[in-house]
A and B are shown apart, each in its own frame.
Chain A
Amino acid sequence: MIMSLFINDERGLLEPQNDLFATALLVIGFVVFAAIMSKTYLTYDEHSFALENYEEASRIAQSVASDELLHTTSPGIISASVLDHISDPASGTSMREILFSSFSGNFEFSVEVVTDDEKYQWAIEQRPIGTANNDVIAASVPVVIELNPAESVAGTLTVKMIKRGWI
């Protein structure tokens, strides 16, 4: 009777190589372990990057919201007419330069101001930045916007920071 079951195969073809298989398994196990550790580290790194940059974006948002350039009429209240002017790509260049002058060139970001009812929206960009293929980290602060001397509305100032490169 021919026994085809490998447990009854007494030719010993595989036995000398048992430790090879064991070692191969060990190597595979080690590679999987290293891959999991790397993945965990990368995830941790990504999270700490996001957290650090969120702090950055929040600091920039607070600084922009309190910049007296935007508060020409009353202190603490952002003027809609200034926002109209500064967000105009053609005429607001020098004002934008002043607004962004206190920030170093290390971070690329844009500023968006939106009233809570979403009727009015302003986008301030130092230079055109594409956000299509990049991760964006945003932070917002609440602001008060003076639409005209008789009417002020609540709104949000958002700083959107673009993740580029290794920094």
Chain B
Amino acid sequence: MGVSKLKTPQKSIFYDQSGWIDFTLSKIAMIIASVIIIAAVFQLAADFKDMGYENELGGVIALDLKSAVDNVGSDTFDAGVVRTYSFDMERFSFDNRFEINAYISGEYVRMTATANDGRIIHAIKPLTFRVLPFNESTLRSELVDRFGHDGTVDDPITSDYTMIVDFLSQMSANEIILNTSMPVYIQKTFIYTIPIIDTGVNKIDYVLVH
């Protein structure tokens, strides 16, 4: 019964048995869909690889430096001791196709990995403690230039506490580049001021990174 129905010529497209348009359309659709899916899979794989690099750059390398800086910052009895931090790039999956740069400012650590093809991967980690991206002698000379005192225990600054903090915040706003093949020096320092009324406190602590 079904066979006899099929053999009956019908005008409706539902009974058009040549099927060439259906065939062509479905094949074209399938080819397009396959191309899209294959492209998406490749894109996803590339994204995951980039994400892996990004995670390693931010979650491991930048975090490592940030932790080293913050550990010095959280140590209250460590003024004057200089600690060193070395970027041990051989531990990581970045090979010589990437050029790694590290930057630090008073607020954050930033890492960039520039690939041979110009692609740049960024990672930023905010710092917990106040950081000054220069060495102690620069700090002292800047304080002498600005306040007339170097802020050591023998020569405390007589200006208002907020003026000192504001001045140093401005100074630390610009990031500096750190040489990843050289050790980074991290040091805690105190800036002494005249005792602040009702607190008896006369020093502000900073972490120097250079």
A-side interface residues toward B, CB under 8 Å? 1-3, 8-13, 16-20, 22-23, 26-27, 30, 34, 37, 41, 48, 52, 55-56, 59-60, 62-63, 66-69, 72, 85, 91, 94-95, 97-98, 101-107, 167
Contacts and interface: CB of A to CB of B under 8 A. Distances in A.
Contact of A16 (B19, B128, B129): B19
B14 A27 contact: no
A97 to B, nearest CB: 7
B22 A94 contact: no
Given A12-B17, A104-B131, 7 more contacts: A11-B6, A12-B19, A20-B30, A55-B67, A59-B128, A98-B201, A106-B127
A111 B119 CA distance: 43
B196 interface: yes
Interface in B14-59: 14-15, 17, 19, 22-23, 26-27, 29-30, 33-34, 36-37, 40-41, 44, 51, 59
B130 A101 contact: yes
Contacts of B30: 19-20, 22-23
10 contacts: A10-B5, A16-B22, A23-B30, A26-B37, A48-B59, A59-B70, A63-B73, A97-B162, A102-B129, A106-B107
Contact of B128 (A9, A17, A107): A107
6 closest A-B pairs by CB = A16-B22, A106-B126, A10-B2, A63-B74, A23-B33, A102-B205
Interface in B92-132: 106-108, 126-131
A48 B73 CA distance: 22
Contacts of B6: 10-11
Contact of A95 (B19, B23, B107, B198): B198
B161 interface: yes
B76 interface: yes
Nearest to B6: A10
Interface of B: 1-3, 5-6, 14-15, 17, 19, 22-23, 26-27, 29-30, 33-34, 36-37, 40-41, 44, 51, 59, 63, 67, 70-71, 73-74, 76, 106-108, 126-131, 161-162, 165, 196-201, 204-206
- For chain B, what secondary structure do more than half of its interface residues adopt (helix, strand, loop), or is it mixed? helix
B26 A16 contact: yes
Contacts of B70: 56, 59
Nearest to A55: B67
A1 B129 CA distance: 86
A103 B140 CA distance: 21
Nearest to B198: A94
B139 to A, nearest CB: 15
Contacts of B44: 34, 37
B31 to A, nearest CB: 9
B129 A20 contact: no
Contacts of B201: 68-69, 98
Given A8-B2, A97-B161, A104 B40 contact: no
B144 to A, nearest CB: 21
Nearest to A106: B126
A17 B15 CA distance: 15
Contact of B126 (A55, A62, A66, A167): A167
B76 A104 contact: no
B74 A62 contact: yes
B196 A98 contact: yes
